[in-house]
Chains A and B, each alone.
Chain A
Amino acid sequence: MKSIYFVRHGESVHNAAKRFNELQTPLSERGIRQAGEIAERASKLSVELVVASTLKRAQQTAAVVAKRLGVNMESSAFFVEGIQSSRLLGKEVSGPEITEAHKSYHGNFTVPGYRFEDGENFDDLKERALAGLAYLEGRSEENILVVSHGFFMWIIAAAAVFGKDLTAKECQGVIRGFDLMENTGLTVLTFDAPSHKAVGEMVSPWQLKVWNDHAHLG
Chain B
Amino acid sequence: MRNYTQGDHQSPLTAKGREQAVLIAERCAKLPVDIIISSTMRRAQETAQTISNRIGTQIESSDLFHERKSPTILDSNERYRSPLRQMRDAWLASFYSESGERVEDGENFSDIMTRAGEALAYLETRPENNILVVAHGFILRTVLSHVLFGKMISPEEFRKFILSVRVENTGISVLHFDPDGTETYDNMPIKGWFMRVWNDHAHLG
Whole-angstrom distance between the Cβ of B40 and the nearest chain A Cβ: 27
Q: Does A17 contact B (CB under 8 A)?
A: no
Interface set, chain B 187-205, CB cutoff 8 A to A:
187-188, 190, 193-203, 205
Asked whether, in the complex, the Cβ of A150 is within 8 Å of the Cβ of B198, the reply is: no
Interface SS of chain B: mixed
Asked whether, in the complex, the Cβ of B201 is within 8 Å of the Cβ of A176, the reply is: no
Interface set, chain A 185-218, CB cutoff 8 A to B:
190, 201-204, 206-216
Asked whether, in the complex, the Cβ of B198 is within 8 Å of the Cβ of A210, the reply is: yes
Q: Which residues of B contact A93 (CB under 8 A)?
A: 186-187
Q: Does A174 contact B (CB under 8 A)?
A: yes
Whole-angstrom distance between the Cβ of B127 and the nearest chain A Cβ: 24
Q: Which residues of B contact A208 (CB under 8 A)?
A: 164-166, 198
Q: How many A-B residue pairs have CB under 8 A?
A: 100
A214 to B184, CA, bound (A): 16
Of the candidate stretches B4-12, B73-81, B155-163, the one touching chain A is: B155-163
Of the candidate stretches A58-66, A70-78, A158-166, the one touching chain B is: A158-166
Q: Which residues of A contact B161 (CB under 8 A)?
A: 161-162
Q: Does B122 contact A (CB under 8 A)?
A: no
Asked whether, in the complex, the Cβ of A179 is within 8 Å of the Cβ of B195, the reply is: yes
Given A207-B163, A210-B200, 15 additional A-B pairs, CB 8 A:
A41-B202, A44-B205, A94-B187, A102-B187, A102-B188, A106-B188, A150-B185, A162-B160, A162-B164, A170-B157, A177-B148, A179-B176, A180-B184, A210-B171, A212-B196
| Residue contacts A-B, CB under 8 angstroms, 23 given | A94-B187, A102-B186, A150-B185, A161-B161, A162-B157, A163-B160, A174-B148, A175-B185, A176-B148, A177-B195, A179-B176, A179-B194, A180-B185, A203-B163, A203-B164, A204-B163, A208-B165, A208-B198, A212-B196, A212-B198, A213-B201, A214-B200, A215-B202
